[in-house]
Amino acid sequence: KLFYDYLDSTDFYISPVTPEARSRMNIPFFLQDSALDAAFLEGAERHGMRQLKGHRVVGGMRASLYNAMPIESVQVLVDVMQTLENQHAS
């Protein structure tokens, strides 16, 4: 809920999945400006988050939030996303 609430509150990131079809574990998303993909991945990496790059054909990002993922880690991911948005939002 925390992650989807953030995605739904911003135009900086895009969720390509309709709310009724969303997964609770694998969450694909895109940056509105794909030129910022590398900056997003670098920021995530600095916070110990890896493997967020989406499928090599589809692109975008994918967060895997399995049962063992603590809510604090999801909050760090949202914080990283907000930081990038604050730095680059027009």
How much is the pTM?
Answer: 0.90
Coil/strand/helix, residue 35: helix
pLDDT on residue 90: 66
In this predicted model, what pLDDT tens digit does every residue of 31-53 receive, in sequence order? 999 999 999 999 999 999 999 99
Q: Is the pLDDT of residue 12 over 80?
A: yes
Q: Summarize the confidence of residues 54-79 as an average pLDDT.
A: 90
Instruction: Give the separation between CA 9 and CA 45, rounded to whole angstroms.
Output: 24
Token pair for 37: 């993909």
The rounded distance, in Å, linking the Cα atoms of 64 and 1 is 14
Of 36, 54, 43, 53, the C-alpha closest to 77 is 43
pLDDT at 33: 95
